[in-house]
Amino acid sequence: MGNLMIKAENISKSFGTLEVLHDISFSLERGNVLSIIGPSGSGKSTLLRIITQLEKADGGSLEIKGEYLFKDGVYSKTEVQKRIGLFTGLVFQSFNLFPHFSVLRNITEAQRAVLKRSKEEAEEKAYALLKRMSLADKAKSYPCELSGGQMQRVSIARALALDPEILFFDEPTSALDPELTREILNVIRSLAEEKMTMVVVTHEMNFAKGISDHAIFMEGGYIVEEGDPISLFEHPQNRRTQEFVKSFE
């Protein structure tokens, strides 16, 4: 399998009669960053939700680290699904922190409940991550006491605490103002520098261009165009990609 982290082949998905994904195929290698751009309703979030197992695909195959999550539309056994789930982490647009837990417990809960780490080990990990997110002083705070940017950094720490091998971001800055957006983008950029394998759904074109190794433009459930980010963003071939990229200038 080498360094192939994700191999998606002909993934399809419908909600009722509405086809939201048609024959989506792509692959991602270890240490690479893939960005997915496209207008609302293009299916990019659904694709992310299928890979992170929040939705089920109807057809196609998906291999993560050489194991099939589903093959020709048939899902693997629950244990396999769970094991693959441990490889993947997801950062949501709306953070989805647990409001009744302190920042610290938001980050330790899954380490303890899922990975069965000891309290000390989990907290040590959490403090290290908080320090890295410049939030060391917020460990005892509650999510309601944080700014949007701080909440999103906590949710990134929460995902990283489980040592995922691939980290997914679903429009991580769409709920934030420009200043807080920069805060989050810097964190993602530093993860990219450390060669974290990531898939980022975003509207931040310049950012995507700067950090990704590969970019995909989706519309209406199709991959309309893909390639290296410079050519995709600066010299798009497809007329729709051209219009979309232009609308952000």
Partner 1 sequence: MQNLIMQMLEGTVTSLQVFFLTLLFSLPLGFVVAKGRMSRNFLLRGIVNLYIQIMRGTPLILQLIFVYFAPYYVVGVSYDRFTAVIVAFVLNYSAYFAEIYRSGLQSIEKGQYEASKVLGFSKTHTFFYIVLPQVIKRILPSLGNEVVTLVKDTALAQTIGVSELFRVAQNAASRMFSTMPIFVAGVFYFVMNYIVSKLFDFFEKKLSYYR
Read off the tokens for 67. 């194991």
Residues 85-144 within binding reach of partner 1 (CB under 8 A): 85-86, 88-90, 92, 94-100, 109-110, 113-114, 142-144
CB–CB of 200/189 below 8 Å? Answer: no
User: How many residues lie near partner 1 (CB under 8 A)?
Assistant: 27
Q: Of 62-70, 117-125, 158-166, 224-232, which part binds partner 1 (CB under 8 A)?
A: 158-166
Rank residues 15 and 248 by Cβ distance to partner 1 and give the closer one.
15
Give the pair of three-digit tokens for residue 117.
């780490």
Q: Give phi and psi for 57, each to the nearest 5.
A: -80, 160
- Joined together, the tokens standing for residue 63 give 């291999």
Secondary structure letter of residue 248 according to DSSP: T
Which tokens in the block code for residue 147? 């700014």
Question: Is the Cβ–Cβ distance between 142 and 151 less than 8 Å?
Answer: no
Type of residue numbered 149:
G
Q: Which stretch binds partner 1 (CB under 8 A): 57-65, 83-91, 219-227, 237-245?
A: 83-91
Looking at beta carbons only, is 53 or 238 nearer to partner 1? 53
Q: How far is the CB of 150 from partner 1 (least distance, A)?
A: 15
Please report, as ranges, the residues that interact with partner 1 according to CB under 8 A. 52-54, 82, 85-86, 88-90, 92, 94-100, 109-110, 113-114, 142-144, 158-159, 162
